[in-house]
């Protein structure tokens, strides 16, 4: 569900017509709906209220400070994957005890900063990393909590680029190695292994892979218990899918119906890390038609947003619905919607049947909230888009459009 709907043939975000927002803020423009993403967070919280999990929103899905702040204010924790994301989390006042930190490549500087702040957990992805965290914690005279990220070797049936819980992926630690690490962890005096973490992939629309992975790790935790090792926390990761085209993903409630009974029985304190589920459908990318170009074989609608603004179609062959901001009942035609960038991979949609378009028309790329702006780049020296947040009738700028100075801010012209 999202709050982008047509009223009188005009697309609205909550109670504001999107074309009016564009008049003020221009294109390309990311428009976020507060009610949508906060609503998704609250739905998940409600579905799992029996076990009151710590819901750590995955910052990398969309890291705008206003988005983070709105969620933290509602009680969310944050799931981070870098020192930069730790900085963002602290900027919005997220209590460190609600921050969990995953990544296969945490650096010394990043680890030190997170230990000093006293985050809830490092989600550790290898033995060398665990040893490094132990060494750094010892140097700082601290003891730090960790969870081991297990690679449960399940098939989440999603795009292979966003599968993370198979043994061929770089993420996590296999059961056997993890068991060995935990049994021998007594020698690591400055870390406490308190939790087990899994995150098996993204845009997963069915419950079965989650259930399978959770069952596997709970059995593992039970074995540890029998060996005298007690684990308090289970972090079940993120990965819940949303509707981009015609998927029928499980709702928060259906997901809870599947996994809650198992989680409840385990008696473990549960953490989850949804990203896309919360923010995915909560934003659109608005773009303007620059040219309509006919070739002997095709018709291209060239727009002012490109793969630097939204890379998902190019990177994952992802589908995004595209709709004109004003509904038009006229003739339809098959077109490719492409950006201005010098790459054939620079497209937003291919072979899409849309109402005939002309220069100056405005289009909304739907469900662009997750891995949209957060993956945006300056390729082709393009300035990254502005972002605005709509809450009911109010529209606020949450990131200004970049300018030429932003592009060269960190560069030096040296004599050669
Ligand atoms: C990316 C990521 C998530 C969020 O994934 P979604 O598919 O957006 O829910 C959660 N946990 C970890 C460790 C991640 O890397």
- DSSP per-residue string spanning 25-73: H-SSEEEEEHHHHHHHHHHHHHHTTTT--EEEEEGGG---HHHHHHHHH
Ligand 1 pocket, residues with Cβ under 6 angstroms: 58, 60-61, 79, 81, 102, 199, 202, 237-240, 273-277, 370
196-205: average pLDDT: 95
Q: Is 193 in contact with 185 (CB distance < 8 Å)?
A: yes
Residue 294 structure tokens: 């006919």
Q: Residue 158: what pLDDT?
A: 74
**What is the dotted CATH code of the domain comprising 4-31+280-402?**
2.40.37.10
Q: Is 258 in contact with 206 (CB distance < 8 Å)?
A: no
State pLDDT tens for residues 27-45.
999 999 999 999 999 999 9
Q: Residue 393: what pLDDT?
A: 98
What are the boundaries of each domain within the chain? Answer: 4-31+280-402, 34-279
Rg of the chain over all Cα atoms, to the nearest angstrom: 23
Q: What is the DSSP letter of 165?
A: S
56 assigned to active site: no
Question: Which residue among 275, 276, 283, 375 is best mutated to probe the pocket of ligand 1, counting the most ligand atoms within 8 A of its Cβ?
Answer: 275
Q: Residue 328: what pLDDT?
A: 81
Cα separation of 198 and 148, whole Å?
8
| Preceding peptide of 28 cis, ω within 30° | yes
Among the atoms of ligand 1, which is closest to the Cα of residue 60? 1
Cα separation of 200 and 208, whole Å?
12
Cα separation of 130 and 184, whole Å?
12
Q: Residue 261: what pLDDT?
A: 97
Cα separation of 325 and 44, whole Å?
30
Percent of the chain with pLDDT over 90: 94
Res. 172 pLDDT band, cuts 50 70 90: very high
Q: Residue 116: what pLDDT?
A: 98
**CA 239 to ligand 1 center in whole angstroms:** 6
Given a cut of 90, is residue 164 above it in pLDDT?
no
Q: C-alpha distances in angstroms, 113 versus 109, 119, 259?
A: 6, 9, 34
In the block, tokens 């592009």 appear at 407
Cα separation of 288 and 193, whole Å?
52
Question: Which residue among 202, 242, 277 is best mutated to probe the pocket of ligand 1, counting the most ligand atoms within 8 A of its Cβ?
Answer: 202
Percent of the chain with pLDDT over 70: 100
247-254: average pLDDT: 95
Q: Which fold is adopted by the domain 34-279?
A: TIM Barrel (3.20.20)
Res. 99 pLDDT band, cuts 50 70 90: very high
State pLDDT tens for residues 50-77.
999 999 999 999 999 999 999 999 999 9
């Amino acid at each position: 569900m999202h709050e982008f709907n047509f009223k009188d043939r005009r697309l609205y975000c909550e109670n504001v017509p999107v074309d009016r927002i564009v008049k003020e803020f221009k294109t390309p423009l990311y428009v976020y709906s507060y009610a949508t993403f906060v609503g998704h967070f609250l739905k998940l919280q409600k579905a799992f209220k029996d076990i009151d999990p710590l819901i750590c929103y995955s910052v990398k899905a969309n890291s705008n400070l206003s988005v983070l702040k709105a969620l933290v204010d509602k009680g969310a924790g944050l799931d981070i994957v870098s020192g930069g994301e730790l900085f963002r989390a602290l900027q919005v006042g997220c209590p460190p005890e609600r921050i969990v930190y995953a990544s296969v490549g945490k650096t010394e500087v990043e680890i030190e900063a997170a230990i000093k702040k006293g985050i809830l957990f490092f989600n550790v992805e290898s033995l060398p990393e665990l040893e490094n965290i132990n060494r750094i914690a010892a140097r700082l005279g601290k003891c730090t909590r960790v969870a081991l990220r297990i690679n449960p070797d399940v098939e989440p049936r999603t795009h292979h680029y966003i599968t993370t819980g198979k043994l061929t992926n770089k993420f996590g630690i296999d059961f056997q190695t993890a068991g060995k690490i935990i049994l021998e962890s007594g020698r690591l005096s400055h870390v406490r292994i308190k939790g087990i973490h899994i995150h098996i992939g993204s845009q997963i629309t069915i419950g079965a892979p989650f259930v399978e992975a959770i069952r596997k790790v709970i059995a593992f935790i039970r074995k540890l218990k029998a060996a005298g090792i007690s684990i308090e926390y289970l972090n079940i990761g993120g990965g819940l899918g949303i509707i981009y085209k015609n998927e029928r993903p499980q709702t928060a409630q259906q997901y809870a119906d599947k996994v809650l009974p198992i989680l409840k029985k385990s008696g473990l304190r549960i953490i989850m890390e949804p990203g896309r589920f919360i923010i995915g459908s909560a934003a659109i990318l608005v773009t303007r038609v620059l040219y309509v170009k006919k070739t002997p074989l095709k018709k291209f609608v060239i727009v002012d947003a490109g793969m630097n603004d939204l890379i998902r179609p190019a990177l994952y062959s992802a589908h995004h619905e595209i709709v004109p901001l004003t509904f038009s009942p006229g003739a339809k035609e098959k077109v490719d919607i492409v950006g201005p960038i010098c790459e054939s991979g620079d497209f937003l949609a291919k072979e899409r049947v849309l109402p005939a378009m002309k220069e100056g028309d405005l289009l909304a790329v739907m469900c662009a909230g997750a891995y949209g702006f957060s993956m945006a780049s300056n390729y082709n020296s393009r300035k990254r888009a502005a972002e605005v947040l709509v809450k009911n009738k109010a529209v606020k700028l949450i990131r200004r459009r970049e300018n030429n100075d932003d592009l060269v801010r960190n560069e030096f012209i040296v004599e050669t």
